[in-house]
């Protein structure tokens, strides 16, 4: 028996889905990750293209107008940080495409490196659908589809209100303990996968 959408993706996912259908580029050298992202986003009508390295991502951004780029960090030929820096050096409007890091490296210092390279947000692997949609909504400034929802709160990532890179820089709240972000085993994630 197929699990319900709520069981498979989590109850927060439908309310986090951007109302507008997006054109998304996923840059990841792992074919399974590409398929997962295509399946998650395609389920809600978003169009997804996939490339296997940073150079292909740079080339794709020059050819097609994307609403958001989901960028792995470690890829052959050109890594995600280098690709992001190259995209940010392009002329307008290409240089302003929102870029979200997809990575297994999610310690606080590494997150700062991603933002410094020009990325707008990050989602840690294994990818959790609610975190992915929240990061996309935050990076694209798209309002989630709140149909059937009564005043849903803003997307929350890792216990923090989603905000722009500028707001993060001005945030004077104490830094959370980096080990709090590292879960040794999460039964809910296992069930979701």
**Confidence class of residue 36 from pLDDT cuts 50, 70 and 90?**
very high
Mean pLDDT in residue range 27-47: 93
Q: Which residues pair with 18 in a beta bridge?
A: 144
Alpha-carbon distance of 101 to 27, in angstroms, equals 10
Task: Take residue 185 and report the two structure tokens written for it.
Answer: 């085993």
120-131 residue pLDDT tens: 998 988 888 988
Mean pLDDT in residue range 41-61: 95
> Is residue 31 pLDDT above 90, yes or no?
yes
91-112 residue pLDDT tens: 889 999 999 999 887 666 788 8
Alpha-carbon distance of 185 to 163, in angstroms, equals 28
How much of the chain exceeds pLDDT 70, in percent? Answer: 64
Dihedral sign computed on CA atoms, order 2, 156, 106, 37: positive
> Is residue 165 pLDDT above 90, yes or no?
no
The whole-number pLDDT of residue 159 equals: 37
Of the two residues 164 and 145, the one the predictor is more confident about is: 145
pTM of this prediction? 0.67
């Amino acid at each position: 028996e197929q699990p319900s959408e709520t069981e498979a993706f989590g109850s927060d996912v439908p309310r986090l889905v951007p109302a507008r259908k997006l054109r998304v580029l996923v840059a990841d050298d792992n074919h399974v990750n590409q398929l997962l992202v295509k399946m998650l986003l395609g389920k809600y009508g978003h169009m997804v293209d996939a490339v296997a390295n940073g150079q292909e991502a740079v080339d794709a951004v020059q050819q097609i107008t994307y609403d958001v780029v989901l960028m792995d960090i470690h890829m052959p030929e050109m890594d995600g940080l280098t690709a992001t820096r190259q995209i940010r050096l392009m002329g307008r409007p290409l240089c302003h495409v929102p870029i979200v890091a997809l990575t297994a490296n999610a310690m606080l210092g590494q997150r700062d490196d991603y933002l410094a390279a020009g990325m707008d947000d990050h989602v840690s692997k294994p990818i959790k659908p609610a975190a992915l949609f929240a990061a996309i909504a935050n990076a694209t400034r798209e309002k989630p589809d709140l149909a059937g929802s009564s005043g849903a709160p803003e997307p929350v990532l890792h216990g923090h209100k989603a905000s722009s890179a500028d707001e993060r820089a001005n945030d004077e709240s104490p830094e959370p303990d980096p080990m709090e972000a590292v879960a040794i085993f999460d039964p809910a994630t296992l069930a979701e996968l």
